[in-house]
Structure 1
Amino acid sequence: MPIYILSASIILSVIYGALLCYRPPSVLKTVVKVAATGLLTFWVYALGGPIWLVTALAFGTIGDGFMSGHPKRWLLPGLLAFFAGHLAYLALFMTTPHTPINIATLAIACAVFAFSAGFVAFLWTSLAEMRWPVVAYTGVIALMGATAARLDMETSFVAIGAALFILSDVLVALETFKIDADARIRKITGPLLWALYYGGQLLIAYGFLLGLQVL
């Protein structure tokens, strides 16, 4: 049964990325998007995945529902849902065994925080009343990414997934605050954003389930 749940999630994800992600808000767009990530959440739950992982994916699904609506109306609720999801990921990563701090992990952490600070500075004049919510959100993302780099796991799937997830948030910010709604580049950024976002969460989930030896 779990393999059918995952297969359905991936199929819906491909449909969304190929046909719907760059289209205007609609009921169909919302249903397909939420179903894709909702089934991914259910897959992890059905296989007995960590509660923090299930929680993170669930909040992401809620955020997907908000973000598929009109961006100006639903941006803040969507941001809050994803913020809660990132906190759950942070809790998941912090309660997972870590490797000792070394030059490589320290360099990665510094790079993540430096990039995050520079990116917020780049967005600053476009953020208006969203400045401090974006600062808080970016801080949690950076901390999550730096923590993922130190996970003591036999597979690198989780760390790679976290990196892809962070890159998807970068594209979300660019689409929200820097790229015009009718810009042609959205034909590229839309599918790329979805691939990074869904693929990142899939890799995180797969890595943890692999570690639990349930796959």
Structure 2
Amino acid sequence: MTPAPIRIVLADDESMVRTALRVILCAEPGLEVVGEAATGAEAVSVVRELGPDVVLMDVRMPEIDGIRATEQILTTLDTPPRVVVVTTFENDAYVYEALRVGASGFLLKRASADELVQAVRLVARSDSLLFPSAVRALAAEHARGRRRPAPWVARLTGRESEVLRYMAAGLTNAEIAARMGVGPATVKTHVAAVLAKTGVRDRTQAVIAAYESGFMKPS
């Protein structure tokens, strides 16, 4: 049976950018652009109406910016989509804030077509971290001023701590299973426990929490 296509909404105030993204994505099997938005407020409305799997969200948009739009989408929907922030600068504080409120990753506007497609497929699958080295660098840079002890650190088991470190390194569940000598189902259970104890919804926020709590130290 052919799997259902990954349904995508594009949110950017430049129609030329949306058109370029649509052309690239719609040329790929298994990807479908179901809607577009030119403002942050419109993005929230379109996502609520269409229920996509992935949203590509520009950071700076009229009415409300991509950060607030992302936050509204992720906190008001029962089954929210994965949000990928699209940005010009990878060390932008706006991007870090978007990750903190729930974005699953970010994509540079200079990214290639292949990187764009890979990013959409990766966040839709959600068993790995989007561009792990870039996310780690961003977290290490911006978490310093927010660092504070967190009670969840003491509640992690040894195995869960190990899994969180592998998650921060960007390993998939299968790769973590191979490193630990256990089955993928066991890793999936550990990942779920880590997300529950850190109080976050996906791997990206777990990495952010790990740096802000001091569990992970900048290298």
Would you say same fold, with TM above 0.5?
no
Q: TM-score, normalised by structure 1?
A: 0.32
- By percentage of residues, which structure has more helix? 1
Bigger relative contact order, structure 1 or 2 (CA pairs below 8 A, ≥6 apart): 1
